[in-house]
Structure 1
Amino acid sequence: MTADTTVGTGAWVRRFHSGPQGAPRLVCLPHAGGSASYFFPVSRQLASTAEVLAIQYPGRQDRRHEPCIDSIPALADALVDELRPYGDRPLTLFGHSMGASLAFEVALRLERAGGTVRHLFASGRRAPSTVRDERVHLRDDDGLIADVKRLSGTDEQVLGDEEIVRMILPAIRADYRAAETYRYTPGPPLSCPVTVLTGDADPHVTDAEARAWQQHTTGPFELRVFAGGHFYLNSHAAEVISVIDKALRG
C-alpha cells in the first residue's frame, strides 16, 4: 500500500497525514522486509487521534540504493538519532515482528536518555529474553523466499516477479539476519506500559514467549491474542488499530 502524498517526509521518518496539533505521536516499525507504506492504513485511521510516524529502513523502496543495516542494536542507535526532533512529546511505539524487537531497543535507549515512552506495542514477536536458534538468513535465495511465503508477509504476486525479488531480497535477508542474530543484553527493564499482540497460530511466538515480555517492564502489561498466524494483524486491522487508539486517547 502506498500513499499519494506524504507530509513531512524524511529518509527514515514518513508522516502520511498531519495529525491534530499537539496530538500524541505513534512510531510504527515494520517487519522484516517491510516498509513504511505498510502502515499507511494505520496513519489514515488514526489521523484524527495521533501523529503517526512510519519508519522506512534503508535498503528498500526509495532507499534501495543505501546499504542495509543487519543489526538490531545498530538500527536502534540510528533510529534514536532520527527521532530526536520528535522528542518534545512522549512517543508510543508499535513494532511488528522484527519491528517489535527494534521498538523495544529504541524504547530502552529513549528511557535511559531521560525521555518518556508513553506505551510499547510489541506485535508478533517473542520476548527479548527468549532465544531461538534461527538461521533462515543463511539459506539460499529459494529457501529465504520460501520462508517469507510461509509467513504470508509479502504479496505472492510480488514474490513471483523475478525482477522485483532480486531488488527486495537483499533487504529481506539483512532484516532476517538482524532479527535472528539479535540477543538481548540484560539490564534495567522499561517503565512504560507494554501491550503484546500475537496470533494464536504464529509459529514464531508461543504463549510462554509472549508472556515473557512482562519481565521487561515495571509498568502495566497486557497480552492480546488474536486468531491467526504471524500476520494475524492483516485480518484484524480494525481491532488492532482500536487497541492502539484507546491507549493513545487514554
Structure 2
Amino acid sequence: MSTAQSSPWIPAGLPRATPADGRPRVLCFHYSGKGASMFRDWPARLGEAAEVAAIQLPGREDRLRDTPIADIDALLAELVPAVKPWVDAPFVLFGHCMGALLAAELAVALRRQYGVQPHALVLSAVIPAWQERGSYDLSHLGDAALIRELRQRGSLTPKMLAEPALLTFILPSTRADSALCESIRAKGRPERPLLDCPLVLYAGRTDSRFEPEALQAWKALSTGPTRLTVFEGDHGFLDANPNAVIDAVRAELPRGGRP
C-alpha cells in the first residue's frame, strides 16, 4: 500500500492502482477552471509505471464549498505539508498552464523546506509568470465583466450560462485562480536558479499566446537540462490529445518504474 495519506488536496476518489515498492509518483496540477477529475484517466493510462496524485485546489468539484485561495504563499502553506507524504519516493511534477506555474512553485518550496526535488519538472503550455504582462488578469473584474470575458474566451458552456446558481460557484474560483497567478508574477524572475532538476517543457505548435521557444525562459529556474517538446495543436493540446501528453510524461519517469 502507499505510504501517502488521504487529503482534501489529493482526492481519495480518483482511481489509482496500489503502488508497488519503488514505483515513482506523478503529481498533477489542473489548469484554471478545471479540477483534479481532468486526470481521471491518467492512472489507467500509466498502468503500473507510476502512482498518480492529482492536486485539487479548493473551490471546485469535491471542494466546491471550500474558499478558493488567491495568494501563492497562502496556498503553499497548506499544500506543501499535504504533499509531503507523496514525495518520499521518486516523483515527477506536471502542470498545464496555471497548473505549471503552481508545479514550479511547489518544486521550489519542496527543495527549500525538505531538500527534495522532482526527478523532472514538466511545465506545459505556459511561459514563466515573470514573462507575462498581465493581459490575462481577471481578478479585478466584477461579475458581469468576468462573465463577458469568459464567454469571449469560450470558457463557459451553455449549461453554465443557463444556470446562474452554477456561475455563483464558478466565478469565485476563476477570479481566485487569476489572483493566484498574479501573486506568482509579483515575485519576479529569480535572481539565481533555485533548482537543479531537469525541466521538461511542452508547447502547442499553434498556441496563439506565445511561440513554443518562449518556454525556454524557464531555464532561469533550474541549472538542470532543459528539453522542449512541441505538440500538434493550440493552447488546449492537452485536452485535444491527452494520450500523447501522458505518454510523454511516462518517458520522463525515473528508471525502475514498471513499463
Shift in Å at residue 89 of structure 1? 0.7
Shift of the 88–229 alpha-carbon distance from structure 1 to 2, 3 Å rule, reads: same
Matched residue count: 244
Shift in Å at residue 205 of structure 1? 3.3
Q: What does residue range 117-196 of structure 1 map to in structure 2 within 5 Å?
A: 117-134=118-135, 135-152=137-154, 155-183=157-185, 184-185=187-188, 186=190, 187-196=192-201
State the AA in 2 paired with 1:132: R
Paired position in structure 2 for 1:4: none
TM-score by length of 1: 0.87
Shift of the 125–50 alpha-carbon distance from structure 1 to 2, 3 Å rule, reads: same
State the AA in 2 paired with 1:29: F
Between the aligned partners of 1:155 and 1:122, the Cα distance in structure 2 is 27
Between the aligned partners of 2:131 and 2:74, the Cα distance in structure 1 is 20
**Contact kept? 2:119, 2:254, Cα under 8 Å:** no
Range that drifts further, 102-111 or 173-182 = 173-182
Paired position in structure 1 for 2:83: 83
Counterpart secondary structure, 1:212: helix
Q: What does residue range 68-107 of structure 1 map to in structure 2 within 5 Å?
A: 68-107=68-107
Shift in Å at residue 155 of structure 1? 4.5
**Contact kept? 1:197, 1:223, Cα under 8 Å:** yes
Q: Does 1:237 align with 2:242?
A: yes
Q: Does 1:199 align with 2:204?
A: yes
Shift in Å at residue 215 of structure 1? 2.4
Paired position in structure 2 for 1:247: 252
Between the aligned partners of 1:32 and 1:61, the Cα distance in structure 2 is 13
Paired position in structure 1 for 2:7: 10
State the AA in 2 paired with 1:62: D
Counterpart secondary structure, 2:38: helix
Identity fraction in percent: 33
State the AA in 2 paired with 1:13: I
**Contact kept? 1:136, 1:143, Cα under 8 Å:** no
Range that drifts further, 113-122 or 95-104 = 113-122
State the AA in 2 paired with 1:12: W
**Contact kept? 1:19, 1:52, Cα under 8 Å:** no
Shift in Å at residue 78 of structure 1? 1.9
Q: Which runs of 5+ in 2 are unaligned?
A: none
Shift in Å at residue 160 of structure 1? 4.1
CA RMSD of aligned residues (A): 2.3
Q: Deviations over 1:172-204 (max 9, x none)?
A: 111111113422452433111111112233333
State the AA in 1 paired with 2:20: Q
Identify the match of residue 221 of structure 2 among 206, 209, 216: 216
TM-score by length of 2: 0.84
Between the aligned partners of 2:203 and 2:148, the Cα distance in structure 1 is 22
Shift of the 238–152 alpha-carbon distance from structure 1 to 2, 3 Å rule, reads: farther
Shift of the 198–145 alpha-carbon distance from structure 1 to 2, 3 Å rule, reads: farther
Q: Deviations over 1:141-196 (max 9, x none)?
A: 34333444555556553444322222221111111111134224524331111111
Shift in Å at residue 60 of structure 1? 1.6
State the AA in 2 paired with 1:110: L
Paired position in structure 2 for 1:32: 32
Shift of the 53–201 alpha-carbon distance from structure 1 to 2, 3 Å rule, reads: same
Between the aligned partners of 1:205 and 1:158, the Cα distance in structure 2 is 29
State the AA in 2 paired with 1:194: L
Shift of the 130–110 alpha-carbon distance from structure 1 to 2, 3 Å rule, reads: same
Shift of the 241–159 alpha-carbon distance from structure 1 to 2, 3 Å rule, reads: farther
Between the aligned partners of 1:19 and 1:104, the Cα distance in structure 2 is 27
